[in-house]
Structure 1
Amino acid sequence: MSFSGAKLALFLGADLLVIKRDDRPDIPYPGYWDLPGGGREGDETPQACALRETYEEVRLSLVASDLTWSNSYRRPRGLVWFFVSHQPAELQQQVRLGDEGQCWQLMRPQAYCDHPLAVPHFAGQLRDYLGRLSG
Structure 2
Amino acid sequence: MTTTGQHDGAKVALFLGDKLVSILRDDIPTISYPNLWDLPGGGREGDENTFQTVARELEEELGLVLPSEAVLWESAFRSVSEPTAWVAFFVAQMPPESADRIVFGNEGQRWDLFDFDHFLALENRVPSYGARLQKWVAQTGGLPR
Select 1:21's aligned residue among 25, 41, 44: 25
Select 2:50's aligned residue among 26, 46, 50: 46
Which residue of 1 is the match for residue 7 of structure 2?
Answer: 3
Select 2:112's aligned residue among 83, 105, 108: 105
- State the 1:114 CA deviation: 1.4
Unaligned runs of 5+ in 1: none
Deviations 1:45-81 (A, max 9, x none): 0110000000000000112232221000112421010
Alignment of 1:20-99 (within 5 A): 20-75=24-79, 76-77=81-82, 78-99=85-106
Alignment of 1:115-126 (within 5 A): 115-126=122-133
In 1, Cα distance between equivalents of 2:71 and 2:27: 29
Unaligned runs of 5+ in 2: none
Q: Which amino acid aligns with 2:132?
A: Q
Q: Which amino acid aligns with 2:118?
A: A
Of all paired residues, the percent bearing the same amino acid is 39
Task: Give 3-state SS (helix, strand or coil) of 2:128's partner.
Answer: helix
Is the contact between residue 48 and residue 64 of structure 1 (CA under 8 Å) also seen in structure 2? no
**Aligned length in residues:** 135
- Runs (4+) of structure 1 exceeding 3 A deviation are none
Aligned-residue RMSD, C-alpha: 1.3
Q: TM-score under structure 1 normalisation?
A: 0.94
- Give the structure with the higher percent helix: 1
